[in-house]
Structure 1
Amino acid sequence: MEDELLTAMADLDEDKTLCLVEKQLQAGLTPLEIVDTCRRGVEIVGKRYSEGQYFLSDLIMSEEIFKGVMRIVEPHIPVNVPQNGFSIVMGTIEGDIHDLGKNIVIYLLRSRGFHVHDLGVDVPPEKFVQAVNETGASILGISVLLSFCVGSVKKVVDLLQEAGLRDKVKVVVGGYPVNQLVKEYTGVDYYANDVTQALEIYEKILKEKCSC
């Protein structure tokens, strides 16, 4: 049934995907197992898009299907006690409205007990800094899919420095266009190209802060 769900998600078959999600929940699969299967299906969609098999509208469709999946499974995701009071601020940078990857990471982080403040999409650099200041967040996650928005990520880091907050927060940027060069240019602490890598980074930062 897992392979069926993976194929349905990758083929953008919304009705079948949502039906299989319901069946898998009834069959006893955990919400996180279902989310991971759908995440891999979305990655296949992204690969097909990069290979010219799918179009931008198909990418958008995959996001809508995944949101439908999350509406079904979210009530079944166990929420753990927040870990040591650490908070995370996350959002998609100004000029970019893509939020699929961000939303997946947020759902999974919350299920693991992290307190996440979601700022949404098209977030101005100033709003990121304001949120870090108001929440006392230890980690700031910035999502970016459009390469021309990378400059705004650098502005966030610069503003954090000006506000005297840079040393108090670890900054993680995630998205398809990010790499070591982007990390060096923007001044962020970490970058991630996929959900699994992002979760590993957040867990690593938490352990480092707990050991201080």
Structure 2
Amino acid sequence: MELQQQLQDVQGRLHQNEETLAAEAEEQYAESWDNVSHMSNESCCGMEHIRDVEKDYKALQEESRRKKEFLDAHITTLKDDLKREHRSGCEARKKIAVLEKDKTDLEARMHAAEDKLQAINTEMTCPVCWSSPITHLWPCGHGLCRECKVLNKEAQDVTNEEEDLDIWFNCYDEQYHCPVCRRHCNQEYPLGNLHLLKKVTEILTPDV
């Protein structure tokens, strides 16, 4: 009986220990589950945060791509405009150079024309007084103004200032000569041999 009692006591203690261990195991399991659940919740929150960050990053990346495309297109447009302006500027500079050359040539022609006009005026000025234009010609081709003609023919019988040129020359004797070339005034020098006409022709002839 004593041995059986001891066996029962041992079995009772074992059962008690089993219940204690089971209770402890259940408590540890519950605690572990709480920890796992908490970690799972934290992991879920972390994953959601990561997904939000990833979403924001993708949105930022897309916005950056659109801005880059816009800037690239704008830069291309500006480069094209700059090229067109450069071409237009080159063409404008060429046109300006042509116009400046035309202006220079025109000024040169104007100066040449002024010089020729001045030379003609000089040739058409009376070589005696150098103030009045030539109105009458000697047979040699040199000319005189009306006033100097009168002074040079005071020794002649004809004094009418309005007389014909040929009549005036016919009235000259060989003793009178041209005040320029000193040639005698006779009819050996035809009126067609005009010094003045030759000089004016030389002035107006273009240089080769």
Whether TM-score is above 0.5 comes out as no
Shorter-chain TM-score category?
Answer: under 0.3
State which structure, 1 or 2, has the greater radius of gyration over its C-alpha atoms. Answer: 2
Structure with greater helix percent: 2
